[in-house]
Structure 1
Amino acid sequence: MRAAVVTRFGDPEVFELTELPDPVPGPGQVAIDVSHAAVGLIDVYVRQGLYRDRPGLPQPPYVPGLEVAGTIRALGAGVTDLRVGEPVVTLSGTGADGGYASIAVVDAAMTASLAGTGVDPALAVAAVPNAATAYLALTEVAHLGPGERVLVHGAVGGLASAFPGVARTLGAAGVVGTVRRASLAGARATALPYDEIVAAEDLVGWVGDRRFDVVVDPVGGQLRTDSLRVMAPMGRMLLVGNASGDWEHTVPSNALWGGNLAVLGFAAGYYLPAHPEQARPAAAGALRAIAEGLVDIPVQSLPLAEAAEAHRRIALGGVGGRLLLTP
């Protein structure tokens, strides 16, 4: 199979396109002929070596990629609920490697069928994993209730843009998004089911007396602390990323007990392996939001040989959707 291999930790030039032996699925696994592989910011961080000492994450040489779409190539022992040739998409509990290749082997439990959904594979891998993450974060962690109000930072980002649609299907009364600067609140933002979009720097002044029950923060930095000022009593803040790159920022803990607030972290890549039974219900929730037209994610595709360029674009920001590799 063809694969884009990270040969060492470092800059994007560490990628090498190479031929590797075709992998074979083990018990409870499936092999997938990959049509599209998603590129995410976590892929960039792992390649840079930011998590080099974290157990369970790959060491070079390795093939990155958490999420793929394609068709089932082979079934491992014990897999009876999928069939060869079936169109599928995988979720983020597959590990941190293996997707940037023409064949990927993943756990069957993290694989959702696209048969009969009408969702094409590019949209599936662009939208389903993030929408499933949003579904799990909002239902299992934030416990979003009908009639509650939601604030989503980085509103047009790949992960964040899945939250408003899923929140709507769960009964949210209102969803507001923030963007880094006002010029980003254009056609992309208005295509998503937000009530309003506001520049992050204007948030505190703009919000007035309004308060939010759930804040979704994939950005971090000072915006994280500013958000505490616009949360309702018993509000929950979901930490789902750190796109600001500010790894030193801390939240003032006294503001939490004083405001009856909670700050909750969520990473699907760690949650789903411990709760594999949640993967397919989350995928079903994601597909429901997509079918209702509530998850609109622009897709850009590059050939597998341009994995380094894909990482450069992700690191620079401003992709405004999902970036895919096509083997």
Structure 2
Amino acid sequence: MQAAVVTQFGDPDVFTLSELPDPLPGPGQISINVSYAAVGLIDVYIRQGLYRDFPGLPQPPFVPGLEVAGTVRALGPGVRAFQVGQPVVTLSGTGADNGYASIAVVDAAMVADLSETEVDPAVAVAVVPNAATAYLALSRAAHLQPGERVLVHGALGGLASAFPGVARLLGAERVVGTVRGGVRPTALPYDRLVSSADLAAEVGNERFDVVVDPVGGQVRTDSLAVMAPMGRMLLVGNASGDWGHTVSTTGLWGSNLSLAGFAAGFYLPSHPEQVPLAVQAARRAIEQGLLDVRVEALPLARAAEAHRRLESGSVGGRIVLTP
């Protein structure tokens, strides 16, 4: 198979396009002929080596890529829920650290069937995993209720862009997004986009029941001042790169606020029964036009370019790689 290999931790130039042996699925796994592989910030962080000391995460040389769409190539022992040739998409948390390749092996429990939908596979891999994550985070961790107000930081980023549509699906009354830099038009279902530079001034007296924070850093602390009593903040990333930032917990109890972390990659493997519900929610959001994300496809040989653009913040949507 062809694969974009990270030869060592470092800048995007560490990618090498290589020919590797075709992988075979083990028990409970399937192999997929990859049509598209999503490119995400987590791939960038792993390539940079930020998680080099985390147990279980790959060490060079390795093939990154957590989410792919394609067709089933082969079934491992014990797998009966899929058929060869079936169109599928994987979810975050599959253990598929081999997505930037023409063939990927994944756990069958973390794979969703696309045969009954008309969703383009490039859109599916760009949207479905993040929308499934948003559904689980909002429903299971933040317990979003109909009529509540939601604030989403990094509003146009890959993961964040799934939250306004799913929040609408769950009955949110109002969804406001924040961006760094200038505010630009979007088809995503936000009521309003504001700059995160001076959050309190931008939102005025408005208060939010749920804050979705994939950014971290100072915006995390600033968010505490615009949360409603009994407000919940979802910590779902750290795109700011400010790994040393801390939040004082002194005011949480007095203001009746809570912070909850959520990562689908750690949640789904131990809760596979949630996969069908999350995928169904993602499909409903797509069908209702709530996940209008621009998707750009690049050839696998341009993986380094995709990472450079993601690092620079110049991606206004999602990039997917195609072998």
Give the TM-score of the pair, scaled to structure 2. 0.98
Task: Quote how far apart the aligned CAs of 1:19 are.
Answer: 0.8
1:269 aligns with 2:265: yes
1:19, 1:29 → 2: CA distance? Answer: 22
Whether contact under 8 Å (1:176, 1:196) holds in the other structure is yes
2:275, 2:306 → 1: CA distance? Answer: 27
Task: Quote how far apart the aligned CAs of 1:178 are.
Answer: 0.8
Which residue is 1:171 aligned to? Answer: 171
Q: Which of 215, 236, 240 is equivalent to 2:236?
A: 240
Q: Secondary structure at the match of 1:201?
A: coil
Partner amino acid, structure 2, of 1:117? T
1:56 aligns with 2:52: no
Which residue is 1:186 aligned to? Answer: 184
Task: Quote how far apart the aligned CAs of 1:96 are.
Answer: 5.5
2:96, 2:176 → 1: CA distance? Answer: 31
Unaligned runs of 5+ in 1: none
More off after superposition, 126-135 vs 272-281 = 272-281
Q: Secondary structure at the match of 2:259?
A: strand
Task: Quote how far apart the aligned CAs of 1:143 are.
Answer: 0.7
Q: Structure 1 280/58 Cα, relative in aligned 2: closer, same or farther at 3 Å?
A: same
Q: CA RMSD in A?
A: 1.0
2:44, 2:103 → 1: CA distance? Answer: 21
Which residue is 1:197 aligned to? Answer: 193
**Which digits, 9 at most, give the CA deviation of each residue in 1:91-120, with x for residues without a partner?**
011126110000001011110011121101
Partner amino acid, structure 2, of 1:205? A
The count of aligned residue pairs is 323
Q: Structure 1 51/84 Cα, relative in aligned 2: closer, same or farther at 3 Å?
A: same
1:119, 1:47 → 2: CA distance? Answer: 30
Partner amino acid, structure 1, of 2:278? A
Matches within 5 A, 1:1-327: 1-95=1-95, 97-181=97-181, 183=182, 185-187=183-185, 189=186, 191-327=187-323
2:15, 2:258 → 1: CA distance? Answer: 40
Task: Quote how far apart the aligned CAs of 1:12 are.
Answer: 1.2
Unaligned runs of 5+ in 2: none
Whether contact under 8 Å (2:68, 2:125) holds in the other structure is yes
1:96, 1:80 → 2: CA distance? Answer: 20
Task: Quote how far apart the aligned CAs of 1:202 are.
Answer: 3.5
Task: Quote how far apart the aligned CAs of 1:169 are.
Answer: 0.7
Identity of aligned residues (%): 73
Q: Secondary structure at the match of 2:229?
A: strand
1:72, 1:64 → 2: CA distance? Answer: 20
